């Protein structure tokens, strides 16, 4: 009996999920977490107006969502002062990155990213047979100059930059990003991931002409808008590139409820402002907890705080394990030297209180060498 005949590329790839979700860990542990602080979700929730819109749309869920996503694209375009032809919407930034790589990366094509940056981009590049070239961070920041230098060296089709950055929470000012765009070699497209930009300081998001063919910008409703479970993201780029997405995107991938919720969330500026305030307060709270335990919180422009545990990756992993054993879900960067850190998402008072209680215990357990 002959089974499926995989392509050589597919056969060469590991079958893996790049993120170990809290649900996976809860199933393995046989109990729930007290504080879910590892996935950079917004524990402050979505706009009540978005919830109401989704509730109303639920009765119409027997219909497919608009495959052109017309109303939401128009609203996003108006919000950014661009034309609807400059906007595409998809299943989160992750889904849109997959479409972009599918459009532009053939087997063997060079692509540049940072070593330890958000892994989904590299996951897509590997899935389509591209060759990843990685540069190290410069301290807690991605290194735009090194990224451009590597792109020039290898003739990269794409170069990826997250600003603000995951997993470190750092950011570059708009002027740095604009300088990077100007320095790109001909034919290289900057993939600018701005998932957290609504939570960053004023002056982080650069003003880029929508028809600039050198850059595509990605935004999401998962972070500041508190709708991670909905899977809605969007991209802004020159109209010819946006039109190309129609060749490969899942045209029914953003459902009717998702479109209604994202449209209402985009219009609720008051709720966004409230979340921005709460995130800023929570960042201060996490930083204070870290400092109270003798640790160093890194400056953050996101909805999480990266905390230097003061040792190496082995020690940080022991801290992480001890926190998980105490029912606190957090994550950590994957690559040295940043794996000396843990990453804690912003949350409400109850979650931060649980973290504050568990952290000194976890540090003591890790120092003792048991991790429990």
| Nearest CA-CA partner of 181 in 155, 144, 142 | 144
- Give the pLDDT mean for 113-136: 95
CA-CA distances (angstroms) from residue 48 to 34, 41, 225, 265, 289?
24, 17, 11, 8, 30
Q: Please check whether residues 32 and 86 belong to one and the same domain.
A: no
Among the three residues 267, 301, 330, which one is the final residue of a domain in this structure? 267
| CATH code where residue 199 lies | 3.40.640.10
Q: Please check whether residues 298 and 217 belong to one and the same domain.
A: no
Among the three residues 267, 283, 307, which one is the final residue of a domain in this structure? 267
pLDDT of residue 17: 75
pLDDT of residue 3: 85
Q: Please check whether residues 351 and 221 belong to one and the same domain.
A: no
| CATH code where residue 313 lies | 3.90.1150.10
Residue 352 in any domain: the answer is yes
Domain span including residue 197: 48-267
pLDDT digits (tens, 9 = 90+) for 214-239: 999 999 999 999 999 999 999 999 99
In the chain, how many domains are there?
A: 2
CB 195 within 8 Å of CB 162: yes
Q: Please check whether residues 25 and 63 belong to one and the same domain.
A: no
**Residues in contact with 9: Cβ distance below 8 Å, sequence separation at least 6, in sequence order:** 107, 127, 128, 129
Among the three residues 267, 282, 316, which one is the final residue of a domain in this structure? 267
Q: Please check whether residues 258 and 348 belong to one and the same domain.
A: no
pLDDT digits (tens, 9 = 90+) for 37-79: 999 999 999 999 999 999 999 999 999 999 999 999 999 999 9
Q: Please check whether residues 130 and 263 belong to one and the same domain.
A: yes
- pLDDT averaged over every residue in the chain: 95
Q: Please check whether residues 189 and 61 belong to one and the same domain.
A: yes
Q: How confident is the model at residue 27 (pLDDT cuts 50, 70, 90)?
A: very high
Residue 2 in any domain: the answer is no
Least confident of 16-20, 91-95, 296-300: 16-20
- Give the pLDDT mean for 232-251: 97
Q: Please check whether residues 154 and 24 belong to one and the same domain.
A: no
Residue 207 in any domain: the answer is yes
- Give the pLDDT mean for 20-29: 88
Residue 216 in any domain: the answer is yes
Residue 14 in any domain: the answer is no
pLDDT digits (tens, 9 = 90+) for 125-135: 999 999 999 99
Q: CA neighbours within 13 Å on the CB side: how many for 285?
A: 21
C-alpha triplet 125, 115, 112: angle, nearest 5°? 45
Q: Is the pLDDT of residue 178 over 90?
A: yes
| Tokens of residue 122, six digits | 């590299």
What are the start-end ranges of the E strands in 99-214?
Answer: 110-114, 131-135, 158-162, 189-193
Q: Please check whether residues 291 and 196 belong to one and the same domain.
A: no
Q: Please check whether residues 263 and 289 belong to one and the same domain.
A: no
DSSP codes joined into one string, 243-305: HHHTTTS-TT-S-HHHHHHHHHHHH-HHHHHHHHHHHHHHHHHHHHHHHHTT-EEPP-SSSEE
Residue 81 in any domain: the answer is yes
pLDDT digits (tens, 9 = 90+) for 335-370: 999 999 999 999 999 999 999 999 999 999 999 985
CA-CA distances (angstroms) from residue 29 to 26, 32, 33, 174?
5, 8, 9, 44
pLDDT of residue 372: 43
Residue 15 in any domain: the answer is no
pLDDT of residue 370: 52
Residue 11 in any domain: the answer is no
pLDDT of residue 20: 81
- Give the pLDDT mean for 133-160: 97
Q: How confident is the model at residue 14 (pLDDT cuts 50, 70, 90)?
A: confident
Q: Please check whether residues 155 and 34 belong to one and the same domain.
A: no
**How remote is the C-alpha of 183 from its chain's centroid?**
25
Q: Is the pLDDT of residue 16 over 90?
A: no
The C-alpha atoms of residue 261 and residue 186 are separated, in whole angstroms, by 39
Q: Please check whether residues 29 and 57 belong to one and the same domain.
A: no
């Amino acid at each position: 009996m002959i089974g499926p005949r995989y392509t050589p590329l597919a056969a060469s790839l590991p079958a893996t999920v790049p993120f170990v979700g809290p649900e996976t860990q809860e199933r393995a542990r046989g109990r729930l977490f007290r504080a879910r602080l590892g996935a950079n979700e917004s524990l402050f929730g979505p706009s009540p107006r978005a919830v109401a819109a989704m509730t109303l749309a639920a009765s119409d869920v027997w219909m497919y969502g608009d495959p052109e996503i017309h109303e939401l694209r128009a609203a996003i375009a108006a919000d950014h002062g661009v034309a609807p032809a400059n906007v595409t919407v998809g299943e989160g930034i992750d889904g849109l990155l997959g479409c972009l790589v599918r459009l532009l990366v053939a087997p063997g094509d060079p692509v540049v990213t940072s070593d330890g940056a958000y892994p989904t981009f590299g996951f897509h590049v590997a899935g389509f047979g591209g060759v990843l070239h990685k540069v190290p961070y410069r301290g807690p920041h991605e290194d735009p100059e090194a990224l451009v230098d590597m792109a020039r060296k290898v003739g990269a089709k794409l170069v990826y930059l997250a600003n603000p950055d995951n997993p470190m929470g750092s950011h570059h000012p708009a002027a740095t990003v604009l300088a990077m765009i100007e320095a790109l070699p001909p034919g290289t497209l900057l993939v600018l991931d701005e998932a957290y930009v609504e939570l960053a300081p004023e002056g982080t998001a650069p003003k880029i002409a929508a028809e600039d063919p050198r850059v595509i910008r990605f935004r999401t409703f998962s972070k500041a808008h508190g709708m991670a479970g909905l899977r809605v993201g969007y991209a802004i780029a020159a109209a010819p590139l946006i039109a190309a997405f129609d060749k490969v995107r899942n045209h029914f991938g953003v459902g009717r409820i998702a479109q209604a919720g994202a449209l209402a969330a985009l219009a609720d500026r008051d709720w966004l402002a409230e979340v921005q305030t709460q995130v800023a307060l929570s960042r201060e709270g996490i930083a204070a907890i870290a400092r109270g335990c003798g640790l160093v919180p890194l400056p953050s422009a996101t909805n999480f705080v990266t905390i230097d545990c003061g040792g190496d990756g082995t020690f940080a992993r022991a801290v992480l394990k001890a926190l998980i054993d105490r029912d606190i879900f957090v994550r950590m960067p994957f690559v040295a030297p940043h794996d000396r850190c843990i990453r804690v998402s912003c949350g409400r008072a109850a979650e931060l209180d649980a973290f504050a209680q568990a952290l000194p215990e976890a540090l003591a357990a890790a120092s003792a060498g048991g991790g429990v």
